[in-house]
Chains A and B, each alone.
Chain A
Amino acid sequence: DTGVSQNPRHKITKRGQNVTFRCDPISEHNRLYWYRQTLGQGPEFLTYFQNEAQLEKSRLLSDRFSAERPKGSFSTLEIQRTEQGDSAMYLCASSPYQGGDEQFFGPGTRLTVL
């Protein structure tokens, strides 16, 4: 399967714990995006990378959130000191083109903070 993969698919954690998600984009896609989707809403942009450089971060990405893409391949999204409001589906997408063209999404990681 050469699509975008995300791990884990589900994560249940207690409030205050740290969690880390991984995204493996389609190989050779130089752009990687993170989105968050809550119930009844569409995906909301969090951040994106071109190769290893993080070029934009949304205001939704508080100081507790950090994303990395070492060597321009896979990416990780870490949430420190999780809160119940962080419960959501975290989606990763990749694209080989300039922004505005189609993005290919992974299956997402569903986070539940108890």
Chain B
Amino acid sequence: DQQVKQNSPSLSVQEGRISILNCDYTNSMFDYFLWYKKYPAEGPTFLISISSIKDKNEDGRFTVFLNKSAKHLSLHIVPSQPGDSAVYFCAASYTGFQKLVFGTGTRLLVSP
């Protein structure tokens, strides 16, 4: 069963506009959520995280929003840059679980 779902396999955005990547989860025990970015031939790189006690976390151009009632989170990138083009993975965990559960990823393409 896919406990973390990223239903959009790809997203195309113009440079300077907002990119919104979505993620849904089914396991209500998850209390910690992360976004990773992955370039080809590299391992995933941590971007930003959020604990379930918050509904928003910002880091520069990146903001993650968490809607616990809907079991939904989203990553906003503003403004988008061509260097942001990569595959973005949503991941989830909970205290004591000791591992990350990943979604299938969304490929973001930011065109100049």
Taking CB atoms, residues of chain B closer than 8 Å to A107 are 41-43
Contact residues in A for B103 (Cβ distance below 8 Å): 42
CB under 8 Å from chain A, chain B span 34-49: 34, 36, 41-46, 49
**A105 in contact (CB, < 8 A):** yes
Q: Closest chain A residue to B89 by CB distance?
A: A42
Most buried by B among A31, A43, A55: A43
Q: Which one, A48, A91, A100, A101, contacts B44 given CB within 8 A?
A: A91
Q: Does B93 contact A (CB under 8 A)?
A: yes
Closest to A104 in B: B46
Shortest distance from the beta carbon of B39 to any chain A beta carbon, whole Å: 10
Q: Which residues on the A side are within 8 Å of B62 (C-beta)?
A: none
* A28 in contact (CB, < 8 A): no
Number of interface residues, chain B, beta carbon within 8 A: 27
Contact assessment for B93 and A43 in the assembled complex, using a CB-CB cutoff below 8 Å: no
Is A40 part of the binding interface, using a Cβ–Cβ cutoff of 8 Å?
yes
Main secondary structure of the interface of B (DSSP, over half): loop
The answer, among B4, B41, B99, B101, for a CB contact under 8 Å with A33, is B99
Which chain B residue shows the least CB distance to A56? B98
Is A100's CB under 8 angstroms from B31's CB?
yes
| Contacts of A62-107 to chain B: CB distance below 8 A | 91, 93, 98-107
Is the beta-carbon distance between A102 and B49 smaller than 8 angstroms?
Answer: yes
Could you tell me if A102 and B46 are in contact, using CB atoms closer than 8 angstroms? yes
B46 near A48: Cβ-Cβ < 8 Å: no
* A108–B44 CA distance with the chains assembled, in angstroms: 9
Does B91 have its Cβ within 8 Å of any Cβ on chain A?
yes
Assess whether B104 is in contact with A45, with CB atoms less than 8 Å apart. no
Indicate if the CB atoms of B104 and A40 lie closer than 8 Å: yes
Q: With A42-B89, A99-B93 as known contacts, state yes or no: A105 contacts B99, CB within 8 Å.
A: no
Which A-B residue pairs are the 9 nearest by beta carbons?
A42-B102, A99-B98, A105-B43, A45-B99, A100-B93, A100-B32, A102-B46, A105-B44, A107-B43
A-B contact pairs, 10 of them (CB 8 A): A35-B100, A45-B100, A56-B98, A98-B98, A100-B31, A100-B97, A105-B43, A105-B44, A107-B43, A108-B42
